[in-house]
Amino acid sequence: MSQNFGKLMKQAQQMQEKMMRVQEELAGRTVEATAGGGMITAVVNGKHELVSLKIEKEVVDPEDIEMLQDLVVAAVNEGVRKSQEMAAEEMSKITGGINIPGMA
């Protein structure tokens, strides 16, 4: 029985190492999301961090700052959602679809 336990522990350690490698790789990958017909572009990395935000000057209206704010929020949220999907997809390749909290 202890031999099976040792084998199981080794497999768990290997899976953890693979997940750590994927998390490192994801930090270097990005996704892009837009809002307002492409007037706002948010780029988010695999760690769910906003790495760049582009705002076209045509969407900047000093009389309607609220619309600009809404578009920025929409683009960033969509970028984060895409980043989460990307991370979950990569992790599921390792875990065989088993959802491990805190790993995606």
Residue with tokens 């695999």: 46
Specify if 103 maps to a domain: no
- Quote the pLDDT of residue 26: 87
Specify if 104 maps to a domain: no
CA 58/CA 40 separation, integer angstroms? 10
Range of the domain at 20: 2-95
Instruction: Report the domain count for the chain.
Output: 1
pTM: 0.76
Reading the chain (104 residues) residue by residue, the pLDDT tens digits are 577 888 888 888 888 888 888 888 888 999 999 999 999 999 999 999 999 999 999 999 999 999 999 999 999 999 999 999 998 888 888 777 666 555 55
Secondary element (H or E) of residue 40 = strand 40-45
Report angle CA 89, 93, 101 to the nearest 5 degrees. 65
Specify if 75 maps to a domain: yes
Going across the sheet that includes 40-45, the strands are 30-35, 40-45, 50-55
Specify if 102 maps to a domain: no
- Quote the pLDDT of residue 30: 95
Question: What CATH number should be reported for the domain holding residue 27?
Answer: 3.30.1310.10
